[in-house]
Structure 1
């Protein structure tokens, strides 16, 4: 623990700690579950009005992502088996109801219009108070100007796009190469002494900042000697960071790959890298942000393919498999793509919004759910039941302490797989089992708006690994001049520091799904004050010696926690090599009557383009005349 008090760390300063709207939502939910409320009949007008124009979710700080008020109803049915008050039929009837207004849900609306006509009546129901799902926009105004940051989905991995996704981007006038040309951002690798590694005094024998320290490159002995580790650990690291040597020269490539896919990356470091346990700890969180798992969950081959060191032990040069990852990005991550989708589906929300100005365009949330819109988007509405009927589907949702029911010809579930069996209890058992198979990977992005970059510039850093702390890594978020927004990579004014990663599971969690569930439980159990204290300890210890005032220079904190984050991808150590059509995600996504399924889980891959592809597939599976 920090040797400084909460007062010394600035915990008493007047940044927004939590959003009172969220607290009110929790109180409303608790009241709804009280016995009297459960027995009461629902009367009066439907409480479905969208937030007022002044109620603008992207500017909210505190706990975001899966924020208070967004998940309690789902937990009530999935964890506690609770029911809800008898639903009030709103009298609304739609061609399509979509459960979830993330990128896949919004793309579903687009493809439904393409197939069934622009006049199709569509309702999107979203449990969060903002659209976009994991494509979360964080918008700060505390530094005297707007600073944007991302709170979830990051990139466009354009080189993997299908023809379907390329056509989708063309429809939204997104030109990837033009976006690439306006990017200076390199995930914090642009400063002269980045990336760096910070050893904190709570986790190691001493505090130490090592600049130009990248575990993926060959480390000099002098660098290793500066690490506050045991003598044995430092010696094992020196032996590990040796010249290329093919330890598997006596076996063929296929046998070598089979072996490397059969052992964990950390066992590979032990058995073939010769590293001690305290040296291995430096590598544990290398993929907290990229995969949302500990390195012990990955095979040696997966770890090496993801960029973790080890290729040199296969006889390959240290420079092989470098950091080139030429993504395209907006200054709020893929939230701008979600905003483009909404602006196209509901033009009155943001008249004139284009790919060239979307990051600065004004969005009027008050017209998202207007009755005269062919497409309506209803926020803070958690679907709790979806059922087939003779004429289509009935969809029941919970909002503001009451339950409501709407009807539709079709329904597409664009939510995560493991909640679907609780929403559709009539699904066949084989499909329910397949849906439950995929446990999502927790993801954490804590954005801290700081007054200026003076301390970072003095140290010459803009990306730091913190192997002993909750967040595995932090980096500055600037140099993405897309969507009309400009924030030069050399701008030393207010900037968002993104603390990126996941939450470590306890050592006793062995199976991958036990690891993921334990990480999720820990993430949900931490209060905003816990996250705030953590980032203040890190900033004080890391930047304090260079003049950063932790009491004065922290302007805002937004914690984007995603307990159900990345889609489950099949891993060498834990999953079978399924035949085509027999993998759990392929079985799980089968349509069921008038209900289809669209999400990244349905593609078993945590990427935006996969979510779009799956939306296209789901719409094609719906019955009815084109």
Structure 2
């Protein structure tokens, strides 16, 4: 059954049974009715499009109704159900669900074509077909339509919503006027002042103004709330119990370090690292010191250079997880130096390194910070899916009631309009692409064929050009005649897995009483828990009082410790695939209870809704030291992987590579530019002959 937020208040003080952390509470009538309604609507679509099911590991999920097309093989009668249920509200598990990944995994395992049958042409022809409806894919469609408003464009995607990792989570808490909205993946614009020219122009075209936005920390700081670190008793068994330590910037490090449940030597080492570390490399030049750091992980730097107590190393392990999706055992020390702050990555100040410019060894996204006037800028309550929906609203008539930044959060959406035959731009969801090929030799081909699975058979469309805006890792399974060198380069882009949980709380007074708005866990399943950024947009108002409902976001990074990032991602993804939703839900309830229970939090009463966004293929991997010896001099695998192949161009953030929205946007404009330049050359050659 789907876990929907209640419409009526919970019983005031009924605590959960011991050890259940609220999982035993009764489901409200509204939750039951909504769950039945979703199941009934999905059942009406027929068995092929079953949306409420279990994978082999017993993971239950309630699915949103996919937006199917009304062209050849389409079913117009489905649109009433499509309009009635928004994908963002109808799921407990979103993202990489069994339904979304079933076909790609069958292709990977060599099982798909055994039963798929012969592809059948639909008779449809488009100027451009885009594979992937994430930020990069929708931007590619938007850029193409901007160049040629009369062009016919088709976007295909295996998910049931637009945006890719940029997802919107929506709740309906009792007593609130309108929904409570949160993000399910892509949260903020990273350093927008340093975006590419194309990225800045896109934001300006959409009317997104990032100037003068105060960081969310300012709002919570005014309430006396800071960041915190939660030291669990499992990581520090010598400590008496779990310990929440508030990181007040007004206090010197020695004050809050004294509260940590660590060994006395570990306390002394941490105070030294934060307050008065020595020059670990005396006599070396600035450049040589940075080169030394480039050869170490941050954990290796702490162990081998600083020689601090193991519990001090453990305290720093999860510092980078939210940014990099892996811990200090994999983060390069040179990037830790660049990101050092009052409460992160201590140990570098004694080196007296020049901070006027980045090191050549820094990762590209780290180096961009030197050119930026800002850091992460949350512009929308739903995160960066707002950008995607604004673009789709401008391309697809009737999709949204409004398309401005002020209105996009609160307007209505009609997913039944996405794939109407009359549209110049069509978006076909729940339609995984299974083949892409040039029609003839790549050097001379003037068109391409794209095949997708519609739930019963493979259908094909013709395309004047194709933009691949999906993962690099999957492209070799779709474009089977790619050059071997390009295929090998694509398979080096191993994405980092992530899991986002968004819990809707009845109120956030417990956070207020604890004095924290964001907490890092030193050794638990969920590595961070933070209150939603206080972002308002148009008529949408962010929660402002501790007794109002709010969304709290938790992050799990499955990458396995002790391995290089790519290997850690693969190992972690395997474990994630076997982890049932129930276990993740229990983890949310348990951790919030251990964190906030002393301040009056009861999960049975205070958690009113939960959505988990599972991204087995999350952050695009950047080139980082010490793992990528070719960085910064090259050659770079991404340059080989993104080569145009006849009428097929490569977008996506893997092709940059970069794990932020600007990478996806700039890749889309590059791919469109390559294809349009090729078309112009072909027309010129045809004219001269």
What is the TM-score with the length of structure 1 in the denominator?
0.89
Q: Does residue 262 in structure 1 map to residue 315 in structure 2?
A: no
Which residue of structure 2 aligns with residue 135 of structure 1? Answer: 166
- Stretches of structure 2 that go unaligned for 5 or more consecutive residues are 1-15, 44-48, 57-71, 358-368, 441-445, 684-689
Contact 2:158 2:433 in 1 (8 A): yes
Q: Tell which deviates more after alignment, 471-480 or 59-68.
A: 59-68
Q: Does residue 614 in structure 1 map to residue 667 in structure 2?
A: yes
Q: SS of the residue aligned with 1:331?
A: coil
CA 1:555–1:431: 2 relative to 1, 3 Å: same
Q: SS of the residue aligned with 1:431?
A: helix
Spell out the pairing of 1:329-344 with structure 2 (5 A cutoff).
329-344=379-394
Q: Does residue 57 in structure 1 map to residue 87 in structure 2?
A: yes
Contact 2:193 2:374 in 1 (8 A): no
Match of 2:138 among 96, 106, 114: 106
Q: Deviation of residue 423 (structure 1)?
A: 0.8
Q: Does residue 534 in structure 1 map to residue 567 in structure 2?
A: no
**Partners of 1:285 and 1:385 in 2: CA distance:** 40
Match of 1:176 among 190, 210, 218: 210
Q: SS of the residue aligned with 2:626?
A: coil
Q: Deviation of residue 232 (structure 1)?
A: 4.0
**Partners of 2:75 and 2:409 in 1: CA distance:** 31
Which residue of structure 2 aligns with residue 574 of structure 1? Answer: 627
When the two chains are superposed, the root-mean-square deviation of aligned CA atoms in Å is 3.1
Contact 1:568 1:606 in 2 (8 A): yes
Which residue of structure 2 aligns with residue 312 of structure 1? Answer: 349
Contact 2:21 2:589 in 1 (8 A): no
CA 1:491–1:468: 2 relative to 1, 3 Å: same
Q: Does residue 207 in structure 1 map to residue 241 in structure 2?
A: yes
Which residue of structure 2 aligns with residue 480 of structure 1? Answer: 535
Contact 2:133 2:164 in 1 (8 A): yes
Q: Does residue 374 in structure 1 map to residue 408 in structure 2?
A: no
Q: Deviation of residue 274 (structure 1)?
A: 2.8
Which residue of structure 2 aligns with residue 77 of structure 1? Answer: 107
Q: Deviation of residue 315 (structure 1)?
A: 3.8
**Partners of 1:240 and 1:380 in 2: CA distance:** 51
CA 1:389–1:46: 2 relative to 1, 3 Å: farther
Q: Does residue 450 in structure 1 map to residue 505 in structure 2?
A: yes
Q: Deviation of residue 264 (structure 1)?
A: 1.1
Q: Tell which deviates more after alignment, 398-407 or 449-458.
A: 398-407
CA 1:11–1:268: 2 relative to 1, 3 Å: farther
Q: Does residue 154 in structure 1 map to residue 199 in structure 2?
A: no
Contact 2:236 2:311 in 1 (8 A): no
Q: SS of the residue aligned with 1:71?
A: helix
Which residue of structure 2 aligns with residue 431 of structure 1? Answer: 486
- Stretches of structure 1 that go unaligned for 5 or more consecutive residues are 31-43
Contact 2:320 2:331 in 1 (8 A): no
Which residue of structure 1 aligns with residue 517 of structure 2? Answer: 462
CA 1:285–1:143: 2 relative to 1, 3 Å: farther
CA 1:401–1:276: 2 relative to 1, 3 Å: farther
Total equivalences in the alignment:
604
Q: SS of the residue aligned with 2:491?
A: helix
Q: Deviation of residue 60 (structure 1)?
A: 2.8
Which residue of structure 1 aligns with residue 50 of structure 2? Answer: 24
Match of 2:596 among 537, 540, 543: 543
Q: Deviation of residue 80 (structure 1)?
A: 4.3
| 1:243-271 deviation digits (Å, cap 9, x = unpaired) | 25322231101111110100111011112
Match of 2:157 among 103, 126, 138: 126
Which residue of structure 1 aligns with residue 642 of structure 2? Answer: 589
Which residue of structure 2 aligns with residue 347 of structure 1? Answer: 397
Match of 1:195 among 184, 208, 227: 227
Q: Deviation of residue 551 (structure 1)?
A: 1.1
Which residue of structure 2 aligns with residue 34 of structure 1? Answer: none
Q: Deviation of residue 467 (structure 1)?
A: 1.1
CA 1:536–1:276: 2 relative to 1, 3 Å: same
**Partners of 2:590 and 2:536 in 1: CA distance:** 31
Contact 1:394 1:408 in 2 (8 A): yes
Contact 1:246 1:316 in 2 (8 A): no
**Partners of 2:385 and 2:277 in 1: CA distance:** 42
**Partners of 1:455 and 1:29 in 2: CA distance:** 36
Which residue of structure 2 aligns with residue 45 of structure 1? Answer: 73
CA 1:12–1:90: 2 relative to 1, 3 Å: farther
CA 1:8–1:360: 2 relative to 1, 3 Å: closer
**Partners of 1:195 and 1:549 in 2: CA distance:** 22
CA 1:314–1:520: 2 relative to 1, 3 Å: same
